Amino acid sequence: MAKIQNVTFLGYSDAKENETLFKQAFDVAKLCAQHGYTVINGAGPGVMKAATMGAKSVGGKTIGITFYPVGLQLFEGRDETNEVDELIVEDNYLARTLKLLEIGQTFIFFNGGTGTISEFAMAWGLARLYYGHHKPLILYGDFWQEIIFAFTKNMYIRAEERLVFKIVNKAEDVIFAIEETAKKIASHTEEKSGPFSV
């Protein structure tokens, strides 16, 4: 069976610790760590920091992936209070995004801005290209229903592109989704096709 160990968390970098979004990411990461998954994130603030805090609250392992930009005034960058166990530093935003997608074996997308949108689009495209042994996407929150509906109504979305993600709205459903999608992938094929396949 395809083995999923690393779970990448992606979402809004401006989420504050007293906000629902932050608490959701914390709770999901805590549960993932309790089930033995390593939590991956971008080593920044917001959802990224929440993921680290949630995992570490139960002794889980965390990996952060960042870069130190020059001239990108609106990039959130490295948050030193996001105390990951291992830090990987890339050269630029694109390399950082690719590393997040390469190391993660499944992705949890929370609400976010344009950065989250770009990460979602790349992960979704790669999942379609590697369909059958793809890395599954978990979309956290019912608001994703409207977003996916808009895509399918207005764009040329293929049938298999609807099968690479699952929308959930409870922390415990994330674990079920990870396990369920891993089983489905394993039933399709045992073949490996590169860093962006399970």
197 or 1: which leads in pLDDT: 197
Q: State the pLDDT at residue 130.
A: 93
Q: State the pLDDT at residue 193.
A: 66
- pLDDT of 15 over the 70 cut: yes
Quickly state the pLDDT bin for 75 (edges 50, 70, 90): confident
Residue 45 half-sphere exposure toward CB, CA atoms < 13 A: 9
Sign of CA dihedral 158, 160, 163, 164: negative
Give tens-digit pLDDT for 20-71: 999 999 999 999 999 999 999 999 999 999 999 999 999 999 999 999 888 7
- pLDDT of 188 over the 70 cut: no
Quickly state the pLDDT bin for 76 (edges 50, 70, 90): confident
Q: State the pLDDT at residue 25.
A: 98
**How far are the Cα atoms of 38, 53, 64, 80 from residue 196, in angstroms, in the given order?**
17, 27, 18, 29
Of the listed ranges 71-85, 91-105, 146-160, the one predicted with least confidence = 71-85
- pLDDT of 89 over the 50 cut: yes
Between 3.30.530.20, 3.40.190.10, 1.10.3430.10, 3.40.50.450, what CATH number should domain 6-185 receive? Answer: 3.40.50.450
The dihedral over CA atoms of 182, 187, 193, 198, expressed in degrees to the nearest 10, equals 10
Query: Pick from 54, 38, 28, 11: which is nearest to 170 by CA?
Result: 28
Quickly state the pLDDT bin for 1 (edges 50, 70, 90): very low
pLDDT (mean) for 169-192: 80
In DSSP terms, 1 is beta-bridged to none
Write the CB contacts of 68 (distance below 8 Å, at least 6 apart in sequence). Answer: 77, 78, 89
pTM: 0.93
Q: How many helices (H) and strands (E) does the chain have?
A: 6, 7
Using a pLDDT cut of 70, give the percent of the chain over it: 95
Residue 157 half-sphere exposure toward CB, CA atoms < 13 A: 15
Mean pLDDT of the chain: 92
Delimit the domains of the chain by residue range.
6-185
